[in-house]
């Protein structure tokens, strides 16, 4: 399908895509709680007459279009929201206090439903299978891993996979990505410093976890500045510290949270090892104890196949013009799309949704985050063309 024609067809259903997106936006659900979101996806698939498997990965939906003969290509959308209280003034603002689609996964789900509609209308021409992954729990829950573990990439075997993410750093009408590692390997850090609490007037009778924490936090910064090759990339961020209640009491414990990032899994393991050693040894020097944990899932880096990025780039050029396709640098954000590209060739592409006129300028995960909805049909058109043109290429 010519990318321009896909864009024209997607434009015709743009209002419908936007309506779905707004319905999702009003009712954000956190990881593995996407019950209403999943029901909305199933409702629309039922209306379109598209068969699906559900549940998969707890709250996920796996739909299929095509005749099952020939090659198989997958398109992926994530569905979960974030524990953020929305501060925008949009009329379809989140109706749930403390929860918000601040990463645009509502847009991703609506764009993929748009592609489902167009692909279904062309099903008689599809010789092969297009799988649509509506996955839960991208925000730290590794829903992508669970989809993979429950067989989403098998029967029929997926040969290529594509994912889109809205990107507020880029204006509407543009896309971007890169060959190779695009997004980082990530880990959360949970650090507990245990000492001996007591009256702040007699510090010699205590073992002060506050001072020890300060030393640990300061020293952890030397991992990146002194130990990492200056030409490599890594992040050690301490983002929360909790300890103590009163001015005259030294607490017995301090809790520290943070995140580690690297562009390789080996790099991430290296950071984890050094953070643990430094925290434990500094704590020991102060006669305290450090308990270092990396809770949840360490996401692998998201690595794009070079040919798949070239393929996506050419579609982007035909659809949006050469000047609107950007070669980007790697980003230290993480993505569980990585679990798919560990096993299958694929490409993760970002879609511009920035529009200064409507104040759509804030980054994802910001309470003021807005997406320009005029970009959504472009996402639908990209998904549609990625799938149809891949099947065309793969059959040869």
Toward Ni ion, which CB reaches closer, 50 or 353? 353
Task: Assign residue 350 a region (left: φ > 0; alpha: ψ between -120 and 50; beta: otherwise).
Answer: beta
Question: Tokens 């796996």 identify what position?
Answer: 62
Would you give the binding string for Ni ion spanning residues 269-288, x where CB under 5 A is met?
--------------------
> Residues 154, 24, 55, 145: is their CA dihedral positive or negative?
positive
Contacts of 39 (CB under 8 A, 6+ apart): none
**Residue 334 beta carbon to Ni ion: minimum distance, rounded to whole angstroms:** 9
- Rounded to whole angstroms, the Cα distance separating 118 from 365 reads 30
**Residue 331 beta carbon to Ni ion: minimum distance, rounded to whole angstroms:** 12
Of all residues in this chain, which one has the CB nearest to Ni ion in the complex?
103
Toward Ni ion, which CB reaches closer, 120 or 366? 366
DSSP character string of 49-89? T--EEEEETTTEEEEEEE-S-S-EEEEEEE---BS------
- Rounded to whole angstroms, the Cα distance separating 115 from 331 reads 27
Toward Ni ion, which CB reaches closer, 112 or 126? 112
Toward Ni ion, which CB reaches closer, 103 or 210? 103
139 is in an annotated binding site: yes
**Residue 140 beta carbon to Ni ion: minimum distance, rounded to whole angstroms:** 11
Toward Ni ion, which CB reaches closer, 103 or 263? 103
**Residue 302 beta carbon to Ni ion: minimum distance, rounded to whole angstroms:** 12
Question: Tokens 């095509």 identify what position?
Answer: 66
Half-sphere exposure of 107 (CA within 13 A, CB side): 26
Residues 286-345 contacting Ni ion, CB under 5 A:
none
103 is in an annotated binding site: yes
Residues 55-114 contacting Ni ion, CB under 5 A:
103
Q: Which of 387, 380, 314 is nearest to 117 (CA)?
A: 380
How many binding residues for Ni ion (CB under 5 A)?
1
**Residue 165 beta carbon to Ni ion: minimum distance, rounded to whole angstroms:** 6
105 is in an annotated binding site: yes
Residue positions forming the annotated binding site for Mn(2+): 103, 105, 139, 165, 365
Residue positions forming the annotated binding site: 103, 105, 139, 165, 365
- Interaction site with Ni ion (CB under 5 A): 103
């Amino acid at each position: 399908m010519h990318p321009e024609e896909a864009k024209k067809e997607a434009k015709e259903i743009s209002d419908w895509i936007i309506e779905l997106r707004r319905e999702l936006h009003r009712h954000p659900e956190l990881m593995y709680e996407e019950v209403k979101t999943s029901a909305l996806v199933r409702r629309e698939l039922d209306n379109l007459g598209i068969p699906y498997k559900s549940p998969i990965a707890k709250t996920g939906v796996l739909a299929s279009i095509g005749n099952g003969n020939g090659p198989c290509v997958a398109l992926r959308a994530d569905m979960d929201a974030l524990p953020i209280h929305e501060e925008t003034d949009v009329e379809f603002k989140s109706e749930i206090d403390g929860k918000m689609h601040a990463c645009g996964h509502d847009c991703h789900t609506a764009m993929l439903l748009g592609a489902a509609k167009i692909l279904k209308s062309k099903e008689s021409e599809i010789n092969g299978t297009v799988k649509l992954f509506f996955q839960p729990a991208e925000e730290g829950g590794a829903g992508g891993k669970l989809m993979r573990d429950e067989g989403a990439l098998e029967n029929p075997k997926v040969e290529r996979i594509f994912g889109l993410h809205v990107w507020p750093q880029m204006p509407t009408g543009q896309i971007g990505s890169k060959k190779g590692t695009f997004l980082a390997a990530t880990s959360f850090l949970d650090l507990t410093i245990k000492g001996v609490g007591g009256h702040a007037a007699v510090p010699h009778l205590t073992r002060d976890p506050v001072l020890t924490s300060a030393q640990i936090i300061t020293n952890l910064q030397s991992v990146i500045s002194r130990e990492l090759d200056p030409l490599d990339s890594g992040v050690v961020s301490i983002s929360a510290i909790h300890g103590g209640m009163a001015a005259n009491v030294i607490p017995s414990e301090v809790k520290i949270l943070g995140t580690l990032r690297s562009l390789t899994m080996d790099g991430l393991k290296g950071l984890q090892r050094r953070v643990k050693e430094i925290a434990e040894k500094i704590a020991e020097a102060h006669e305290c104890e450090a308990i270092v944990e990396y809770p949840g899932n360490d996401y692998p880096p998201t690595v794009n196949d070079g040919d798949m990025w070239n393929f996506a780039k050419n579609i982007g050029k035909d659809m949006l013009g050469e000047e609107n396709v950007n070669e980007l640098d790697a980003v230290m954000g993480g993505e569980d799309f990585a679990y798919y590209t560990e096993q299958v060739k694929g490409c993760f592409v970002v879609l511009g949704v920035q529009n200064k006129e409507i104040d759509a300028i804030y980054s994802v995960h910001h309470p003021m985050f807005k997406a320009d909805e005029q970009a959504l049909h472009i996402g639908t058109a990209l998904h549609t063309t990625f799938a149809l043109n891949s099947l065309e290429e793969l059959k040869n």
